[in-house]
């Protein structure tokens, strides 16, 4: 049996027991406490910033971590 994974921005991410949204933000090289202009969706539902550290990610979850980019 392979280790549990989730999808972060379309990429496979190996989960450890109790991995939270904050851990995923850290893995993107960002500080979940201080980062601005970033939003997260877990399985198509937005997770507010103050819920990141308490939201545990499960096997098969799909997470989107987004920010502003140049656009028209």
Partner 1 sequence: MEQEDYFEVGGLQLRSRLLIGSSGYPSPQVMLEAVEASGSELLTVAIRRVNLGDMSGESLLGMLKSLPVHLLPNTAGCYTAREAVLLAELAREALETNLVKLEVIGDDETLMPDVEQLLQAARTLIDSGFTVMAYANDDPITCRKLADMGCAAVMPLASPIGSGMGLTNPYNLALIRELIPDVPLLVDAGIGTASDAAHAMELGYDGILLNTAVSQAKHPVQMATAMRYAVNAGRMAWLAGRIPRRRYAQASSPSEGRIEATPT
One residue of 3, 12, 16, 44 binding partner 1 per CB under 8 A: 44
- In the complex, least distance from residue 31 CB atom to partner 1, rounded to whole angstroms: 10
Cα angle vertex 44, ends 22, 18, to 5°?
A: 30
- Spatial contact of 55 and 42, defined as CB atoms under 8 Å apart: yes
| 27 belongs to the binding site for partner 1 (CB under 8 A) | no
| 50 belongs to the binding site for partner 1 (CB under 8 A) | no
**Sign of torsion over alpha carbons 57, 48, 44, 7:** negative
Binding span for partner 1 by CB under 8 A among 12-20, 29-37, 53-61: 29-37
The residues facing 40 across adjacent strands are 47, 65
One residue of 5, 13, 38, 62 binding partner 1 per CB under 8 A: 38
């Amino acid at each position: 049996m392979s280790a549990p994974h989730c999808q972060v921005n379309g990429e496979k991410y190996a989960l450890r027991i109790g991995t939270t949204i904050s851990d995923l933000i850290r893995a993107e090289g960002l500080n979940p406490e201080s980062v601005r202009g970033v939003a997260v969706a877990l399985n198509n539902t937005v997770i507010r910033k103050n819920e990141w550290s308490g939201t545990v990610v499960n096997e098969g979850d799909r997470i989107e971590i987004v920010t502003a980019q140049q656009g028209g």
